[in-house]
A and B are shown apart, each in its own frame.
Chain A
Amino acid sequence: MIAKTSNITFDVEAVRSEFPVLDRVIYENKPLVYFDSAASSQKPRIVANTVRDYYLNEHANIHRGVHFLSQEATNKYEEARKKVRDFINAAYDEEIIFTSGTTDGINLIAATFDKVHIKKGDEVIVTGMEHHSNLVPWQMMCERSGAVLKFVPVSDEGELILEEYEALLNDKTKLVAVSHVSNTLGTINPVAEMIKSAHGVGAQVLVDGAQSVPHMKIDVRDLDCDYYVFSGHKMYGPTGVGILYGKKELLNELPPYKGGGEMIKTVTLEKSTYNELPHKFEAGTPNIAGGIGLGAAIDFMLREDLTDAAEHENRVLEYCENRLQEEFSDIKIIGQAKEKTGAVSFLLGDIHPYDVGVLLDRLGIAVRTGHHCTQPLMNRFDITGTVRASFGMYNTTQEVDALIEGLKRAEKMLS
């Protein structure tokens, strides 16, 4: 077999040097191996420094302030919004709503969508592989509005069964909510195709991009999605900040989500009129440092050629899957989709994932174990949890080797 040649310019050591935490030695003498980026990525210097500088030198409340610092902070915050817009190729700044994270963005749509688009008996489609945050808000919306929740089933390989999806679509379908990449399986879902089909019956589509934005170039206009949500902290940015992208005309149709300052135009004791986008959905003082820090995270990501970075990450993922299969006769990789990124879930014989996680931890290796907030998916595979190794652009194949050695040791102790 001819080794795959690559001419990528991606320099993983240079990337790693931006993340001081990766040099940590834990539990006395174990070099940290961080394979939990799907839960939250580590932060590069530029993000930490930007947030620190903001707090130490630049902080004031934004919007409507007449003084220097307020204007400066407002400019920085709004610059970050523009960076996000360009990053996902949205058409307008006001289509970028700052939220506290993916969950918040989904809840915003789930709390408002039914007020204008849903009547009793309408249908909402989600999939069998959603994170609870892209399931529970829709359950709540359906319960409130009398809509019926439908599910796209998942195949044994961990892919959505598209024929079943197509069969679910009809003129009662008002919304489809689907993750772009599964947090548990790493499956990349064919969202562009799914969006096209949904639009064919007049339904809108929300894409949960929490696990895709860190790993691939996203173009919301190309996808033609109606809403796209993601989190800052999974893409090298701060916690507590996220983005809801929505098509302008659709966001304009929705009523405000939270009431308060920022989101109003005029207020009398009896009634208020609401501000325009994006402020209509940004009540209260936002996470200013988080927004600016997210802008810095985008700057960080764009220093790399994102295609090269993705290729590197996928090589690490592939290497990990191959070694798992080579080294362990009773390994079971949960999710064998053709298109994957970011994560591999597995079971080592009948060893409980928690045991594996505890022992790996003591060897300095951070993985996640359990149901990964996807209990229906666990039920689908008739398991209670998995061990999940997930990757960022800073991970290496040498780290995978450490994981494999750790797993061998854990297997020996536990069987």
Chain B
Amino acid sequence: MSSINKVQDEIVEEFELFDDWMDRYEHIIEFSKEVPQIEEELKTEANLVKGCQSNVWLAPEMKGEKLFFKADSDAVITRGIVGLLIKILSGHKPEEIAQADLYALDKIGLKEHLSPNRANGLSSMITMMKAYAKATA
């Protein structure tokens, strides 16, 4: 199993502990506190993933052979899901990130947050993460 999928399976397991949806959101809000913070000076137009509902800022960083991400969002729940995505994708080889199949959010029932209809910036954020990965792979 790839290291990315290992993280995804762990996250799915974690969320399965919660029956109540509000508890799941509590957990997502916890994740929002763990997002590797993008520096204020990197919150530029170029790093902004503008959504109609909420905004996401995202910056990539290569360390050795691995690609890391830093991010932020103006909405807590969006930031929490950003945190989940970063936990899944950050710190792996670019080619792994580019090829990753993001199934965890679907499995824990957060799929609708990734729909472009939500206009919260998350769908474009994934596209951007993958584009960075492809460009550096």
Q: Does B1 contact A (CB under 8 A)?
A: no
- Is there contact, CB below 8 Å, between A362 and B54? no
- Is there contact, CB below 8 Å, between A27 and B21? yes
Chain B contacts for A351, CB-based, 8 A: 76
CB neighbors of A among B53-104 (8 A):
53-54, 74-78
CB neighbors of B among A370-398 (8 A):
370-371, 384-385
Q: How far is the CA of A163 from the CA of B26 in the complex (A)?
A: 49
- Is there contact, CB below 8 Å, between B52 and A370? yes
Q: Does B120 contact A (CB under 8 A)?
A: yes
The 3 closest A-B pairs by CB, nearest first: A352-B75, A354-B75, A354-B54
Q: How far is the CB of B24 from chain A (nearest CB, A)?
A: 9
Q: Does B22 contact A (CB under 8 A)?
A: yes
Chain B contacts for A370, CB-based, 8 A: 52-53, 119
How many interface residues does A have (CB within 8 Å)?
19
Closest chain A residue to B121 by CB distance?
Answer: A354
Q: How far is the CA of A355 from the CA of B53 in the complex (A)?
A: 10
- Is there contact, CB below 8 Å, between A385 and B53? yes
27 contacts between A and B (CB under 8 A): A27-B21, A352-B54, A352-B74, A352-B75, A352-B78, A353-B53, A354-B77, A354-B78, A354-B120, A357-B53, A358-B25, A358-B113, A359-B77, A362-B21, A362-B25, A363-B22, A370-B53, A370-B119, A371-B52, A384-B74, A385-B53, A413-B22, A413-B25, A413-B26, A413-B29, A414-B29, A414-B76
Closest chain A residue to B22 by CB distance?
Answer: A362
Question: With A370-B53, A413-B29, A414-B29 known to touch, is A355 a contact of B75 (CB < 8 Å)?
Answer: yes
Q: How far is the CA of A384 from the CA of B77 in the complex (A)?
A: 17
Q: How far is the CA of A354 from the CA of B81 in the complex (A)?
A: 13
- Is there contact, CB below 8 Å, between B25 and A369? no
Given A352-B74, A355-B78, 14 more pairs with CB closer than 8 A:
A351-B76, A352-B54, A352-B75, A353-B53, A354-B54, A354-B78, A355-B76, A359-B22, A369-B53, A370-B53, A371-B52, A385-B53, A409-B22, A414-B76
Q: How far is the CA of A351 from the CA of B77 in the complex (A)?
A: 11
Q: Mark A333-368, 1 if CB is under 8 A from B, else 0.
A: 000000000000000000111110111001100000
Max chain A C-beta neighbours (<10 A), residue from B29, B53, B113, B119: B53
Q: Mark A394-413, 1 if CB is under 8 A from B, else 0.
A: 00000000000000010001
- Is there contact, CB below 8 Å, between B75 and A359? no
Q: How far is the CB of B48 from chain A (nearest CB, A)?
A: 13
Our pick among A358, A385, A409 for the contact of B77 (Cβ within 8 Å) is: A358
Q: How far is the CA of A369 from the CA of B52 in the complex (A)?
A: 10
Chain A contacts for B22, CB-based, 8 A: 359, 362-363, 409, 413
Q: Mark A27-42, 1 if CB is under 8 A from B, else 0.
A: 1000000000000000
Chain B contacts for A353, CB-based, 8 A: 53
Chain A contacts for B21, CB-based, 8 A: 27, 362
CB neighbors of A among B34-53 (8 A):
52-53
Q: How far is the CA of A354 from the CA of B77 in the complex (A)?
A: 8
Q: How far is the CA of A384 from the CA of B75 in the complex (A)?
A: 11
Chain A contacts for B77, CB-based, 8 A: 354-355, 358-359
Q: How far is the CB of A136 from chain B (nearest CB, A)?
A: 16
Chain A contacts for B120, CB-based, 8 A: 354
Chain A contacts for B119, CB-based, 8 A: 370
Q: How far is the CB of B125 from chain A (nearest CB, A)?
A: 14
Q: How far is the CB of B113 from chain A (nearest CB, A)?
A: 8
Q: How far is the CA of A409 from the CA of B21 in the complex (A)?
A: 13
Q: How far is the CA of A409 from the CA of B29 in the complex (A)?
A: 14
Q: How far is the CA of A167 from the CA of B91 in the complex (A)?
A: 61
CB neighbors of B among A131-165 (8 A):
none
Q: How far is the CA of A354 from the CA of B113 in the complex (A)?
A: 11
Q: How far is the CA of A355 from the CA of B22 in the complex (A)?
A: 12
Closest chain A residue to B51 by CB distance?
Answer: A354
Q: How far is the CA of A414 from the CA of B76 in the complex (A)?
A: 7
Closest chain A residue to B76 by CB distance?
Answer: A355
Closest chain A residue to B73 by CB distance?
Answer: A352
Q: How far is the CB of A377 from chain B (nearest CB, A)?
A: 15
Q: How far is the CB of B36 from chain A (nearest CB, A)?
A: 20
Chain B contacts for A414, CB-based, 8 A: 29, 76
